[in-house]
Structure 1
């Protein structure tokens, strides 16, 4: 009798799960495994360079680019002293927020793209205020699986990466980026002064088909 119950239970599980394979998420369909691995490494370098840009003795490059420093709010709408400040701004009609642990990007009411620092895995989440960091934990479990939106927001965010790095090189030359690179004991696959070129090429690849 117990064997029959177990067999029926397993059959019901298979019916609920279909073939037993979960549908690939939007970010898994956007990039090939190789593309994601390469982008993850370069994104870590990009995040490191933004930190160097903030501490630059000649002046904060993020602020000079037009981003404003913001203290994140808690769920009560008050500044949260437990969370470090981030930088917020717009690139054309894309709203962007940068923190030491990730990036948020959104376009009006379309949705919000979140990329955690440890791995280049864009995730679509419900729209949130960019200074309401404390609600991220609540919405990360409600990913929106829409490949078209993820694709569009990813392209726009890559445009921001490219525009910022192109501008930064014009402002400081290659010396500052080389200094950023040398301040961390890590070997990257590209030079920091080549970030703009990498992001432009990566965007072009994604625009021309990505993982397809």
Structure 2
């Protein structure tokens, strides 16, 4: 593993993966927000996600729930994503692409603000960091599949319109968003493999 791809002590991701993930995730959150307001109907609902509306008079945002590839649960809000998989829960806030470990049962779709998701902190142990990386790769897989579906079933014209409405230019064109997330999933999983390789015991002379 080259120095530029090394994982700082206690960190979940290398700096370059976190930086690129931050840019992509910001675009994804923008596009998901646009999809909710699509003039032809809520694209998230068309994709099969289940909406839990914000109660009248309550602060926050509605929640949308779907399934990750391993059968785990994904909850999306405008402020981030919660992945629940294999007994672990991680919250990925919209700003920073720094996944947080969620302790306790958490509120899931009953949360409508980031502070209501649960008690969250940095992953501190090796098993926690591995679980967070696995969940983050599953989130990247889901976003890759979702963007491929949008391009195919909703149309690239819609996604291009979403990106054109942003103030900041997207790091990827509409037709490359799915592939960009697939590459991100590979990079996150490669990080985990690299960490395990560097921490494996040495054998022989």
**Same fold, TM-score > 0.5, yes or no:** yes
CA distance in 2, matches of 1:206, 1:137: 24
Change (3 A) 1:143 1:174: same
Aligned to 2:131: 149
Aligned to 1:105: 83
Contact 2:52 2:110 in 1 (8 A): no
Task: Report the CA distance between 1:192 and its aligned residue.
Answer: 3.1
CA distance in 2, matches of 1:150, 1:174: 32
Aligned to 2:147: 165
Aligned to 1:95: 73
Does residue 118 in structure 1 map to residue 95 in structure 2? Answer: yes
Contact 1:71 1:85 in 2 (8 A): yes
Task: Report the CA distance between 1:68 and its aligned residue.
Answer: 1.2
Deviations 1:13-68 (A, max 9, x none): xxxxxxxxxx944xx23x21111111101110000000111111112110011111
Aligned to 2:63: 86
Deviations 1:129-172 (A, max 9, x none): 31232663750248564122112211211111111111111112
Which of 191, 195, 204 matches 2:177? 195
Larger RCO (alpha carbons 8 Å, 6+ apart): 1
CA distance in 1, matches of 2:116, 2:166: 29
Using structure 2 for the length normalisation, give the TM-score: 0.78
Structure 2: which 5+ residue stretches go unaligned?
1-7, 196-205
Structure 1: which 5+ residue stretches go unaligned?
1-22, 74-78
Task: Report the CA distance between 1:88 and its aligned residue.
Answer: 1.2
- Over the aligned positions, Cα root-mean-square deviation in angstroms equals 2.4
Provide the aligned length of Structure 1 versus Structure 2: 181
CA distance in 2, matches of 1:48, 1:136: 22
- Structure 1 segments, 4+ long, off by >6 Å, are none
Which structure has the bigger radius of gyration? Answer: 1
Task: Report the CA distance between 1:106 and its aligned residue.
Answer: 0.2
Using structure 1 for the length normalisation, give the TM-score: 0.76
CA distance in 1, matches of 2:118, 2:146: 30
Aligned to 2:203: none
CA distance in 1, matches of 2:145, 2:101: 23
